Amino acid sequence: MLKVKYSLSKVKEVRSKHNFTKSEVAKYLNLTLNGYSMKERGKRKFTLDEAKMLSDLFDISIEELFFYNLSNQNDYGNSFLK
């Protein structure tokens, strides 16, 4: 089984690469700046709809944005999406 782990740093990294501020992305997701910041830091979870919106905004798959491969085992670990 494929083992994956949630990657919060990737969200921040991709946002920065696309030259978006936290405030711009928060507005796009219809969140407060504080609400978005908490999600980017892992204090709250992104909803699946928010993950899809980010995926579309950054032109990257949800899998590439939120997960990275740890091993070729079939253990998916914890999900950080609601």
Does some domain include residue 59?
A: yes
Higher-scoring residue by pLDDT: 22, 8: 22
Does some domain include residue 82?
A: no
Listing DSSP states for 14-81 in one string gives HHHHTT--HHHHHHHTT--HHHHHHHHHTSSPBPHHHHHHHHHHHTS-HHHHHEEEEESSS------B
Question: What is the CATH number for 29?
Answer: 1.10.260.40
Neighbours of 24 (CB within 10 A): 15
For 59, the domain range is: 3-71
Q: What is the pLDDT of residue 11?
A: 92
Q: What's the domain count of the chain?
A: 1
Q: What is the pLDDT of residue 66?
A: 84
> How confident is the model over 23-46, as pLDDT tens digits?
999 999 999 999 999 999 989 999
Confidence of residue 9 (pLDDT cuts 50, 70, 90): confident
3-state secondary structure of 12: helix
Does some domain include residue 81?
A: no
Does some domain include residue 11?
A: yes
